[in-house]
Structure 1
């Protein structure tokens, strides 16, 4: 499969959506505990609709935050920080400058 076909495929779009969600979820890792505590409280009070609405809002916020993370170039910056400590990348960059 060539690059153009890959970028139009449903598999690529699904993986891109997954990347948006996962990056947003990683940013929401600490606030999720606050949301979980409120969710447990609402379940105890039998307010299941509020829990479902809250879960949906949390999901949407993860996707939006992940999309912004990738759109604004933070993903590339994160990769560059990771590359600074990756021995393989250091070796490749050293060879390239010679």
Structure 2
């Protein structure tokens, strides 16, 4: 992201109170307990196994470790994962 676009995005989040995840294209991750994970604003599924799911996002990937995980819903910009979720990490 260039310096001009970065300044514009900062202005949008500061002055107009727009959410940073929308302006900067960040993923939004919502976890309910350790059994339900909802990821918005992703760029595709990379790996799907019952103990590892990797989801691409604009500046890296989101890695989910767990047990007996399944994908309940997969849409263009959102994914719902269920199972025993042990950890969620962001890798650049």
Pair in the same fold by TM > 0.5: no
Select the structure of larger CA radius of gyration.
1
Report the TM-score when normalising by structure 2: 0.23
Report the TM-score when normalising by structure 1: 0.22
* Bigger relative CO (Cα 8 Å, ≥ 6 apart): 1
Structure (1/2) with the larger helix percentage: 1
